[in-house]
C-alpha cells in the first residue's frame, strides 16, 4: 500500500495548495473559539493544537486519511497482541506492561499478563529489600548507589524518567547511568562511588550489545578490586531476555529480571528495564507511571480519531512532513527536569520511523520520520530559537508546559510559563513590517536608518506549534506523556505503511565496528577498507600513545 496514491492523500495535496498561505493570525481573528475547537484532553493533560496551519476542513481531511488506512484496526491489532512487527515476527506489547486492568492479552495462545505480574512482584520485592536494608552489600552495608549499565532503550528512557521524577526519589538512594563505551563515562561515574554500597543493574534486552558488555565487564573488574567473585551476586543484577548470556557473564539468574521479545528496546522503560526507576523512586511511584501510561492507552484505544490526542499529533506531523516538506521537529519542555525528554523522544521516533522501506519491502518515495531534537526552555530561546523564528526552515515545535513546579519557586515558575507561552505566540503571530515600523518610530528611528533596520526586525510568523499543558509533572503525567508520543509514532508509521518496531538500520555500523576493531587494536596487516578508512586507521596507529 502506498499512501500517496490513495484519494485522501491526493485530496490533501490539493487542499495544501489552496491553504499553504493560510494565516494563523487571521484564523484566530476570525474565530474566537479557535483555541477551544482545536484542543483535546486526556485526563489532566491538554493538547492545544490551535497554533497550527490548519482549518477544520484540514483536520477532517487528515482524519479521513487515518480512516483510509484503517487506523482503528491497526490500533486494535497492537492491543490484541497481533505480530505487527512483521520483519521480526513479533507482537508489540509495551501496552501490556502497563495494562493495569489486567485483562488477558494473548500471544501464541498464551496470556502474557501473569508473567508481567510475576516480574512486577519480583521488582517490588527486590526494591523493598534494597530500601529496607534487607539486601546488603558484601561488607554488610546498605546500597546507596544504583548504576544502570545499558545503552539506547536500555538507558535513555529510564535515565530520562529518573531525572524527571527526582522529587520522588527515595531518601539515601542515588542513581547513575553509564551507556557510552567511551571509558570516560564509566570512570567518571565510578570515581565517586564506593563498591561496598554500589549496586549495578546490567540492562540489555539481548545481552550481546558490545558497549553494555564492555562497560559491565569493566564495572565488575572495578568491583573485584574490593569484593570477591562470590560477592558479585550481591552487587550485580541483570535485566534481559537472554538467561544464558546473563549466566555466562557471572550473574546468578535468580538475580535476573525477565523481559520478552515483544518489548521493543525504545518502548521498554515500562518493563524491568525500568528497574533503576523503581529503585530510585520506589515501586509505588513506578506503578503510578504505569497507571498514567495505561490511561493514555485507554484514551488512544477508545477515543474517536478526531478527538484522539496521539492520532491528532501524528496527523499534524504528517501534514508538515509530507505536505509542507518539513524535516525536523523540536520538542521543548518548559521543565528543567525533562532535560532528557527530547533525547528519549529522539530514539523513540527516529529509530522507529527512520525507514525507507515499506511493510511490503518496497522502497518508498515519500518522506518518513523527521529529525527530533530539543532542549529545555528557556535555554533553547537563547540558542536556536533565532532560527525557528526567522530562519528559512519551517520547524514545528511541541511546547511541554507543567503549570506547577515541585520546587519552591517564588517567581520562577511564572516567568518560565510566560516564556513558553510567549514563544508559541511569537511563532504564530510574528511581527509584520508595519508593526516594526511603528516600534522603530517610537524608539526614535527615522529615515534611512529606520529603513535599513526594519527588514531585520520583521518576524514572518505563521510558524506552527502544539502546547501540552498539565498541572504538574507527577509519575502518572509522565507516563501519559511518554505513552502519548509512543502512540503518535505508531500512528505515523501506520500512515507511512512502515514497520515502526524494527531497527535494522543500526546493524551495519555494529558489524563494521567489529570488523575494524582488530585493525585499531593491533599493528598487524589492515583488512580491506575504502582508502579513507584505511588512512584513518594508519593515522590512529601513528598518533596513539604507546
Q: Which residues carry out catalysis?
A: 351, 382, 510
Shortest Å distance, C-beta 241 to ligand F6P: 8
Please, which residue, 208 or 522, has the CB nearer to ligand F6P? 208
Lookup: cell for 13: 495535496
**265 contributes a contact to ligand F6P by CB under 6 A:** yes
Shortest Å distance, C-beta 315 to ligand F6P: 26
- Cβ neighbors of 42 (< 8 A, separation 6 or more) are 295, 296, 299, 303, 309, 480, 484
Lookup: cell for 7: 484519494
From residue 532, give the alpha-carbon distance in Å to each of 298, 512, 535, 537. 53, 14, 5, 9
Please, which residue, 263 or 397, has the CB nearer to ligand F6P? 263
DSSP string, 94-147: HHHHT-TT----EETTEESHHHHHHHHHHHHHHHHHHHHTSSB-TTSPBP-EEE
Site string for ligand F6P, 205-234 (x = CB under 6 A): xx--x--x----------------------
Nearest CA among 463, 461, 425 for reference residue 326: 463
Alpha helix stretches (DSSP H) within 443-530? 447-457, 475-496, 507-521
Please, which residue, 58 or 154, has the CB nearer to ligand F6P? 154
Please, which residue, 369 or 396, has the CB nearer to ligand F6P? 369
Nearest CA among 393, 392, 391, 353 for reference residue 372: 353
- Rounded Cα gap, residues 519 and 3, in angstroms: 46
Among 387, 403, 418, 506, binds ligand F6P (CB under 6 A): 506
**Helix 475-496 vs helix 71-79: angle between axes, to the nearest 10 degrees?**
130
Cis peptide before 398 (omega within 30 of 0): no
Shortest Å distance, C-beta 265 to ligand F6P: 2
Please, which residue, 264 or 380, has the CB nearer to ligand F6P? 264
**179 contributes a contact to ligand F6P by CB under 6 A:** no
Shortest Å distance, C-beta 510 to ligand F6P: 8
DSSP state of 170: P
Residues 394-423 that bind ligand F6P (CB under 6 A): none
Q: Which stretch binds ligand F6P (CB under 6 A): 146-154, 183-191, 398-406, 444-452?
A: 146-154
Q: What number of H helices and E strands is found in the chain?
A: 23, 13
Shortest Å distance, C-beta 87 to ligand F6P: 14
Shortest Å distance, C-beta 94 to ligand F6P: 12
Please, which residue, 123 or 202, has the CB nearer to ligand F6P? 202
Alpha helix stretches (DSSP H) within 430-474? 433-442, 447-457
**154 contributes a contact to ligand F6P by CB under 6 A:** yes
Please, which residue, 256 or 416, has the CB nearer to ligand F6P? 256
Q: Which stretch binds ligand F6P (CB under 6 A): 115-123, 151-159, 328-336, 372-380?
A: 151-159
Q: Which stretch binds ligand F6P (CB under 6 A): 64-72, 204-212, 290-298, 338-346?
A: 204-212
Residues 79-118 that bind ligand F6P (CB under 6 A): none
Q: Which stretch binds ligand F6P (CB under 6 A): 149-157, 179-187, 319-327, 371-379?
A: 149-157
Q: Nearest-CB residue to ligand F6P? A: 265
Nearest CA among 283, 272, 269 for reference residue 341: 269
**DSSP three-state, residue 416:** helix
**151 contributes a contact to ligand F6P by CB under 6 A:** yes
Among 204, 378, 465, 467, binds ligand F6P (CB under 6 A): 204
Shortest Å distance, C-beta 233 to ligand F6P: 22
Q: Which stretch binds ligand F6P (CB under 6 A): 131-139, 182-190, 200-208, 386-394?
A: 200-208
Sheet of strand 198-203, all strands in order from the earlier edge strand to the far edge: 174-178, 145-149, 198-203, 236-240, 256-258
Please, which residue, 510 or 541, has the CB nearer to ligand F6P? 510
Shortest Å distance, C-beta 85 to ligand F6P: 12
- Rounded Cα gap, residues 298 and 192, in angstroms: 43
Angle made by CA atoms 519, 525, 531, in degrees to the nearest 5: 70
Nearest CA among 261, 266, 240, 264 for reference residue 153: 266
**266 contributes a contact to ligand F6P by CB under 6 A:** yes
Shortest Å distance, C-beta 491 to ligand F6P: 20
From residue 533, give the alpha-carbon distance in Å to each of 78, 207, 511. 43, 29, 15
Lookup: cell for 400: 511541554
- Rounded Cα gap, residues 339 and 374, in angstroms: 9
Cβ distance 296 to 480 under 8 Å?
yes
**157 contributes a contact to ligand F6P by CB under 6 A:** no
From the CA atom positions of the chain, what is the Rg in Å?
Answer: 26
Please, which residue, 152 or 314, has the CB nearer to ligand F6P? 152
Q: Which stretch binds ligand F6P (CB under 6 A): 198-206, 225-233, 390-398, 415-423?
A: 198-206
Residues 348-377 that bind ligand F6P (CB under 6 A): 351
Nearest CA among 129, 133, 147, 120 for reference residue 284: 120
Please, which residue, 350 or 401, has the CB nearer to ligand F6P? 350
**499 contributes a contact to ligand F6P by CB under 6 A:** no
* Interface residue list for ligand F6P (CB under 6 A): 151-154, 204-206, 209, 212, 265-266, 351, 503, 506
Amino acid at each position: 500500500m502506498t499512501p500517496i496514491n490513495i484519494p485522501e492523500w491526493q485530496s490533501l495535496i490539493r487542499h495544501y495548495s489552496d491553504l499553504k498561505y493560510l494565516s494563523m493570525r487571521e484564523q484566530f481573528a476570525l474565530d474566537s473559539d479557535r483555541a477551544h475547537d482545536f484542543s483535546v484532553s486526556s485526563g489532566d493533560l491538554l493538547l492545544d493544537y490551535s497554533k497550527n496551519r490548519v482549518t477544520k476542513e484540514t483536520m477532517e481531511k487528515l482524519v479521513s486519511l487515518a480512516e483510509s488506512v484503517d487506523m482503528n484496526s491497526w490500533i486494535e491489532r497492537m492491543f490484541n497482541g497481533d505480530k505487527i512487527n512483521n520483519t521480526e515476527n513479533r507482537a508489540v506489547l509495551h501496552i501490556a506492561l502497563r495494562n493495569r486492568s489486567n485483562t488477558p492479552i494473548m500471544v501464541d495462545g498464551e496470556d502474557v499478563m501473569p508473567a508481567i505480574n510475576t516480574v512486577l512482584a519480583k521488582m517490588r520485592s527486590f526494591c523493598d529489600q534494597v530500601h529496607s536494608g534487607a539486601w546488603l552489600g558484601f561488607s554488610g552495608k546498605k546500597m546507596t548507589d544504583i548504576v544502570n549499565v545499558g545503552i539506547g532503550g536500555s538507558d535513555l528512557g529510564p535515565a530520562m524518567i529518573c531525572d524527571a521524577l527526582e522529587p520522588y526519589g527515595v531518601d539515601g538512594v542515588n542513581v547513575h547511568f553509564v551507556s557510552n563505551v567511551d571509558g570516560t563515562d564509566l570512570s567518571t561515574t565510578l570515581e565517586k562511588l564506593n563498591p561496598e554500597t554500589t549496586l549495578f543493574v546490567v540492562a540489555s534486552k539481548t545481552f550481546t550489545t558490545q558497549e553494555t558488555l564492555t562497560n559491565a565487564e569493566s564495572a565488575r573488574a572495578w568491583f573485584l578490586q574490593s569484593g570477591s567473585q562470590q560477592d558479585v551476586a550481591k552487587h550485580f543484577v541483570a535485566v534481559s531476555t537472554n538467561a544464558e548470556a546473563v549466566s555466562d557473564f557471572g550473574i546468578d539468574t535468580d538475580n535476573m529480571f525477565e523481559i520478552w521479545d515483544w518489548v521493543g528496546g525504545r518502548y521498554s522503560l515500562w518493563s524491568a528495564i525500568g528497574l533503576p526507576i523503581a529503585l530510585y523512586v520506589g515501586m509505588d511511584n513506578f506503578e503510578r507511571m504505569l497507571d498514567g501510561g495505561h490511561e493514555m492507552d485507554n484514551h488512544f484505544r477508545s477515543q474517536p480519531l478526531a478527538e484522539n490526542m496521539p492520532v491528532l499529533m501524528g496527523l499534524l506531523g504528517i501534514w508538515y512532513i509530507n505536505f509542507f516538506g518539513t524535516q525536523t521537529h523540536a520538542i521543548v519542555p518548559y521543565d528543567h527536569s525533562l532535560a532528557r525528554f527530547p533525547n528519549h523522544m529522539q530514539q523513540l521516533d527516529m529509530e522507529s520511523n527512520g525507514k525507507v522501506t515499506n511493510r511490503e519491502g518496497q522502497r518508498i518515495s515519500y518522506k518518513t520520520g523527521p529529525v527530533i531534537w530539543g532542549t529545555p526552555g528557556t535555554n533553547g530561546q537563547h540558542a536556536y530559537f533565532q532560527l525557528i523564528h526567522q530562519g528559512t526552515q519551517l520547524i514545528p515545535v511541541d511546547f511541554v508546559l507543567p503549570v506547577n513546579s515541585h520546587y519552591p519557586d517564588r517567581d520562577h515558575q511564572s516567568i518560565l510559563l510566560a516564556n513558553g507561552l510567549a514563544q508559541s505566540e511569537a511563532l504564530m503571530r510574528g511581527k509584520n513590517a508595519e508593526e516594526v515600523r511603528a516600534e522603530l518610530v517610537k524608539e526614535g528611528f527615522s529615515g534611512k536608518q529606520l529603513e535599513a533596520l526594519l527588514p531585520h526586525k520583521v518576524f514572518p510568523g505563521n510558524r506552527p506549534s502544539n502546547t501540552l499543558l498539565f498541572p504538574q509533572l507527577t509519575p502518572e503525567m509522565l507516563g501519559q506523556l511518554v505513552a502519548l508520543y509512543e502512540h503518535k509514532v505508531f500512528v505515523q508509521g501506520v500512515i507511512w505503511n512502515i514497520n515502526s518496531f524494527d531497527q535494522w538500520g543500526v546493524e551495519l555500523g555494529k558489524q563494521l565496528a567489529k570488523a575494524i576493531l582488530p585493525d585499531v587494536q593491533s599493528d598487524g596487516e589492515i583488512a580491506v577498507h575504502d582508502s579513507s578508512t584505511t588512512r584513518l586507521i594508519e593515522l590512529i596507529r601513528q598518533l596513539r600513545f604507546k
